[in-house]
Amino acid sequence: MAEQALPQPAGVTLAKRQPTPKSFDLKRQPGFGVIAMACLAALYAPIVILVLFSFNASRSVTRWSHFSLDWYASVVTNIEVHDAARNSLTISIVATIVSTMVATAAALATTRTRPWPGMTAAYTVVNLPLLVPEIVTAVATLSFFSLLAAQFDINFGIGNLIIAHTVFCIPFAYMPIRARLEDMDLTLEQAAADLYATPWRTFRRITLPLLTPGITAGGALAFIVSFDDFTITQLVAGPGQTTLPLYIWGQLHKAGVTPEVNAISAILLAISILLVSLSFVIGSRRRT
Amino acid sequence: MADIAAVEARGVTKIFGQGQDGVRALDDVSIAIRQNEFFTLLGPSGCGKTTLLRLIAGFELPSAGEILLEGQPVGHLPPYERAVNTVFQSYALFPHMTVAQNIGFGLEMQGRPAAERARRVEEMLALVKLAGLAARRPSQLSGGQQQRVALARALANRPKVLLLDEPLSALDLKLRKEMQIELKRLQHETGITFIFVTHDQEEALTMSDRIAVMNRGRILQIGGPTEIYEHPTEHFVADFIGETNFLEAEVRGVNNGEAALRFPSGGELAVPTARAIAQGTKVSLALRPERSSLVKAGSPALLTGRVQNIVYFGTDTTYYVELEGSGSFTVRMQNREGARLSFAQDEIVGVAFAPDAVQILAD
Amino acid sequence: MTELGADAQTRFERRYRVSRWALIGPALVIIALFGIAPLIITFVYSFLVAGTYGGVEWKFTVEAYVQFLFDRDIFSGQIQFIPDYLEIFWRSILLAGITTLTCLLVGFPTAYFMATRPPSQRNLWVFLITIPFWTNLLIRTYAIMLIIRDEGLVNDFLLWLGLIDRPILILYTNTAILLGLLYSFLPFMVLPLYASLEKLDFRLVEAAFDLYATRGQALRRIVIPLARPGIIAGCLLVFVPGLGSYITPVLLGGGSRLMIGNLIALQFGTSRDWPFGSAMAFILMAVVLLALMLYARSTGKSQVRHG
**Mean of the pLDDT values across residues A264-274?**
92
Q: Are residues B80 and A206, on separate chains, in Cβ contact within 8 Å? A: no
- If asked whether residues C9 and C100 sit together in one domain, one would say no
**Cβ pair B60, B89 in contact under 8 A:** no
pLDDT cut 90: percent of chain A above it? 47
Alpha carbons within 13 angstroms on the beta-carbon side of residue A201 total: 15
- Best CA proximity match to C284, nearest among C54, C101, C92, C35: C92
Alpha carbons within 13 angstroms on the beta-carbon side of residue C169 total: 5
pLDDT cut 90: percent of chain B above it? 60
Going by C-beta distance under 8 Å and a sequence separation of 6 or more, which residues neighbour residue B300? B350
**Cβ pair B69, B84 in contact under 8 A:** yes
- If asked whether residues C189 and C208 sit together in one domain, one would say yes
Question: B7-238 sits in which CATH class?
Answer: alpha beta
Please report, as a single letter, which amino acid is at residue B124: M
Point out the residue among B10, B63, B78 whose CB comes nearest to the CB of C4. Answer: B63
Q: Are strands B193-198 and B161-165 parallel, antiparallel or unpaired?
A: parallel
Does C2 lie at the interface with B, CB-CB under 8 angstroms? Answer: yes
Q: Are residues B10 and C9, on separate chains, in Cβ contact within 8 Å? A: no
Domains of chain B, by residue range, sit at 7-238, 243-361
Interface subset of B 66-125, CB within 8 angstroms of C? 66, 73, 75-76, 78
Domains of chain A, by residue range, sit at 32-68, 78-284
State the pLDDT at residue B257.
84
Superfamily of domain A78-284, CATH level 4: MetI-like (1.10.3720.10)
Say if residue B261's pLDDT is above 70.
yes
Please report, as a single letter, which amino acid is at residue A16: K
**Cβ pair A237, A243 in contact under 8 A:** yes
Q: What are B111-161's pLDDT values in tens digits?
A: 999 999 999 999 999 999 999 999 999 999 998 999 999 999 999 999 999
Say if residue C279's pLDDT is above 60.
yes
Backbone angles phi, psi at C100, to 5 degrees: -60, -45
Query: How far is Cα C1 from Cα B67, in angstroms, rounded to an integer?
Result: 10
Say if residue A11's pLDDT is above 60.
no
Task: Give how far Cα A27 sits from Cα of A38, B227, B324, B339, C213, Å.
Answer: 20, 60, 60, 54, 13
Query: How far is Cα B188 from Cα B276, in angstroms, rounded to an integer?
Result: 40
Q: Are residues B10 and C1, on separate chains, in Cβ contact within 8 Å? A: yes
- Residue C273 resides in a domain: no
- If asked whether residues C90 and C204 sit together in one domain, one would say yes
Interface subset of C 72-131, CB within 8 angstroms of A? 106-107, 109-110, 112-114, 116, 123, 127-131
Element (H, E) at C13: helix C5-16
State the pLDDT at residue C99.
95
Task: Give how far Cα A192 sits from Cα of A184, B86, B92, C65, Å.
Answer: 14, 10, 9, 60
- Residue C258 resides in a domain: yes
Chains near A (3 or more Cβ pairs under 8 Å): B, C
Mean pLDDT computed over every residue of chain C = 83
**Mean of the pLDDT values across residues A78-107?**
94
Interface subset of A 257-286, CB within 8 angstroms of C? 257, 261, 265, 268-269, 272-273, 275-277, 280, 284
Report the gap between the CA of A256 and the closest CA in chain B (Å): 54
Using a CB-CB cut-off of 8 Å, the residues of chain B touching C1 are 10-11, 64-66
State if pTM tops 0.90.
no
Instruction: Determine the angle formed by the axes of helices A32-53 and A259-284, rounding to 10 degrees.
Output: 130
**Final residue before a domain boundary, out of C233, C250, C267:** C267
Does B347 lie at the interface with C, CB-CB under 8 angstroms? Answer: no
Point out the residue among A193, A201, A209 whose CB comes nearest to the CB of B78. Answer: A193
Domain residues for C118?
Answer: 84-267
Q: Are residues A192 and B59, on separate chains, in Cβ contact within 8 Å? A: no
- If asked whether residues C20 and C169 sit together in one domain, one would say no
Q: Per DSSP, what are the bridge partners of residue B309? A: B320
Greatest Cα pair distance, chain B, in angstroms, is 80
Which residue of chain C is at minimal alpha-carbon distance from A171? C27
pLDDT cut 90: percent of chain C above it? 28
Q: Are residues B66 and C15, on separate chains, in Cβ contact within 8 Å? A: no
pLDDT higher for B38 or C290? B38
Question: B243-361 sits in which CATH class?
Answer: mainly beta
- The count of domains in chain C is 2
State the pLDDT at residue A104.
94
Report the gap between the CA of A191 and the closest CA in chain B (Å): 6
Query: How far is Cα A253 from Cα A229, in angstroms, rounded to an integer?
Result: 18
Query: How far is Cα C212 from Cα C202, in angstroms, rounded to an integer?
Result: 16
State the pLDDT at residue A17.
57
- If asked whether residues C101 and C197 sit together in one domain, one would say yes
Please report, as a single letter, which amino acid is at residue C164: I
Interface subset of C 153-192, CB within 8 angstroms of A? 153, 156, 183, 186-187, 190
Give the model's confidence band at C13: pLDDT under 50 very low, under 70 low, under 90 confident, else very high. Answer: low
Say if residue C1's pLDDT is above 60.
no
Burial grade of A57 (CB within 10 A; 0-12, 13-18, 19 or more): middle
Q: What are B173-222's pLDDT values in tens digits?
A: 998 999 999 999 999 999 999 999 999 999 999 999 999 999 999 999 99
Q: What are B63-90's pLDDT values in tens digits?
A: 999 999 999 999 888 899 999 999 999 9
